A = this chain, B = another copy of it.
Amino acid sequence: MIRFKNARIMTMCGSTDIINGELWTDAEKIAFVGTPTDEQLKAARFEKEYDAGGCLLMPSFKNAHTHSAMTFLRSYADDLPLQQWLFDKVFPMEDKLTGEHIYWLTKLAVLEYLTAGMTACFDMYFYPDDFARANIECGFRAVMCGSVSGGRENVKRLADCMERFNGKHPLISYRLGFHAEYTADYELLEAVAQLAKDLRAPVSTHNSETASEVADCVKKYGKTPTALFDSLGIYDFGGAGFHCVHMTEEDMDIFVKKGVYAVSCPASNAKLASGIAPICRMAEKGVGLALGTDGAASNNCLDMFREMFLLTALQKLARNDAAACPADTALTAATVGSAHAMGLDDCDVLAVGKQADIIMIDLAQPNMQPLNAIANNLVYSGSKLNVKLTMCAGKTLYENGKFMINADTDEIYAKANEIITSMK
């Protein structure tokens, strides 16, 4: 067992309240949270002890929408209009990607996730075998989201992946999904809905990221993307909508009724000028909220602290109300909400029996002082610099600025540079 003592602990079990005490892990799970009795301490066998020294233990962040391997396009095509960015810059480069590229570029993203206290990502991209291999080698938890597009024949790949990746490795899972309405034939959407019914499985996809996406869909089908998906039964077993910037009241009602999570990506939506998602309105209606970074091509950094700040700050701006979207909303979305949106119900909070997906936050840093409200400090002034330790499934993957994983960081950086240079 591993023991963390002298810790502040924010379990996120229903609130952001903090207790003082200990947390023990046993293999991949949390074995104890609280103040142990002398008998419990006597009976315990610890292979490692951390003195947290008053630092904060909390559930790790989960990145509920990303395209990890897009790291190769970081700062490659900034400050361009959206269409030019996507069609002239992103798509032609993506066409050149191989499975080997995905492997290295995913590892680069995983390094960055760990520095920002993330232990899981909900990833939509290419070459699932290479992606899974990279994550497994790093000890990182990954949920893959189907990314099919085009015609109905492609749905077979989805079914194959569901079979091939679920229940095979404890860190890897796969969820039904398709790229977006605007890259899917109607028959593909029908086939996805049928598969969702057959498997009684949730479906996740890009949804209402831009105003033009919604307008085009309404023009084509007489319905918003959400209403279209709902009419086909795509959301009958829940799922997640990525971005959800341009949502109607009816769209939000569908999300509530069908238990679909809205995964907000505020940095990407700002940088690409897509807009500000109606987070407060969705929260009022009871839509489940999650947070994602999107890929490094559009964001450009993979940092949940930035996403949390933006989630709340942009709501305050959009609503012209400094009281809008309090800190707890952002903190809950980045942890518990994102875990649930990804189907990771066993690593959402700090409680006995849950997966030990934990971060230690350094409070002995100037941006965390004084300790008026630790939850607010995390959201409004927290940064990667405060992540002292990142643990996934009971294994420490990052500690005091060092990566404890089976990977040579210099080799990963060199490969990433080689890959993009070879494509230019």
CB-based contact B273/A420 at 8 Å: no
Contact B369 A416 (CB under 8 A): yes
Q: How many angstroms between the C-alpha atoms of A260 and B124 in the bound complex? A: 48
Q: Is the CB–CB distance between B314 and A270 below 8 Å?
A: yes
Asked if residues B81 and A323 are in contact (CB atoms below 8 Å), the reply is: yes
Count residues on chain A whose CB falls below 8 Å from chain B CBs. Answer: 75
Beta-carbon contacts under 8 Å, A73-87 to B: 73-76, 78-82, 85
State how many angstroms separate the Cβ of A266 from the closest Cβ of chain B: 9
Binds B, one of A41-49, A108-116, A189-197: A108-116
Inter-subunit contact B80/A323 (CB<8 Å): yes
B364, A300: Cβ atoms closer than 8 Å: no
Indicate if the CB atoms of B380 and A301 lie closer than 8 Å: yes
Q: Do the beta carbons of A413 and B376 come within 8 Å of each other?
A: no
Interchain CB contact under 8 A, B322 and A369: no
Assess whether A321 is interfacial by the CB under 8 Å rule: yes
A145 within 8 A of B: no
Which B residues are CB-close (under 8 A) to A310?
313
Cβ A319 vs Cβ B420 within 8 A? no
Contact with B along A293-319 (1 / 0, CB 8 A): 000100111110010011011101101
Asked if A171 CB lies within 8 Å of chain B CBs, one says no
**Nearest chain-B residue to A317 (Cβ)?**
B270
Q: Taking A80-B323, A271-B316, A367-B115 as contacts, is the C-beta distance between A306 and B306 under 8 angstroms?
A: yes
Q: In the complex, what residues of B have CB within 8 A of residue A80's CB?
A: 322-323
**Is there contact, CB below 8 Å, between A384 and B381?**
no
Tell me, in angstroms, the Cα distance from A108 to B412 when the chains sit together: 37
Is A343 an interface residue when CB atoms closer than 8 A count as contact? no
Is A275 in the interface zone, CB < 8 Å from B? Answer: yes
Scoring A73, A365, A366 by chain B CB atoms within 10 A of each residue's CB, the highest score goes to: A366
User: Is A401 part of the binding interface, using a Cβ–Cβ cutoff of 8 Å?
Assistant: yes
Q: Is A19 an interface residue (CB 8 A)?
A: no
Contacts of A275 in B (CB 8 A): 317, 320
A272 within 8 A of partner (CB) = yes
Do A313 and B270 touch across chains, with their CB atoms under 8 A apart? Answer: yes
Smallest CB–CB gap between A54 and chain B, Å?
10
CA distance A16 to B370 in the complex (A): 37
Shortest Cβ distance from residue A383 to the other chain B in the assembled complex, whole angstroms = 5
- Structural contact, B273 and A320, CB atoms closer than 8 A: yes
Question: Would A417 and B370 count as touching, CB distance under 8 A?
Answer: yes
Q: Give the contacting residue for A317; candidates B276, B374, B409; CB below 8 A.
A: B276
Chain A residues 55-82 with CB under 8 Å of chain B are 71-76, 78-82
List, in ascending order, chain B residues with CB within 8 A of A21's CB: none
Query: Shortest Cβ distance from A399 into chain B, in angstroms?
Result: 13
Q: Mark A393-414, 1 if CB is under 8 A from B, else 0.
A: 0000000010000000110110
Selected contact of A377 from candidates B75, B111, B115, CB within 8 Å? B75
Interface string of A176-202 (1 = CB under 8 A from B): 000000000000000000000000000
CB neighbours (8 Å) of A71 from chain B are 366, 369-370
Residues of B with C-beta under 8 A to A409 = 364, 366
18 additional A-B pairs beyond A82-B322, A384-B385, beta carbons within 8 Å, are A72-B370, A73-B372, A74-B377, A75-B380, A76-B372, A78-B327, A115-B365, A267-B313, A275-B317, A300-B377, A301-B380, A306-B306, A314-B317, A366-B413, A369-B417, A370-B413, A370-B416, A384-B384
A-B residue pairs, 9 tightest by C-beta: A301-B381, A75-B376, A112-B366, A111-B366, A270-B313, A300-B380, A75-B373, A79-B326, A370-B416
Interface residues of A (CB under 8 A from B): 71-76, 78-82, 85, 108-109, 111-112, 115, 267, 270-273, 275-276, 296, 299-303, 306, 309-310, 312-314, 316-317, 319-327, 364-367, 369-374, 376-377, 380-385, 401, 409-410, 412-413, 416-417, 419-421
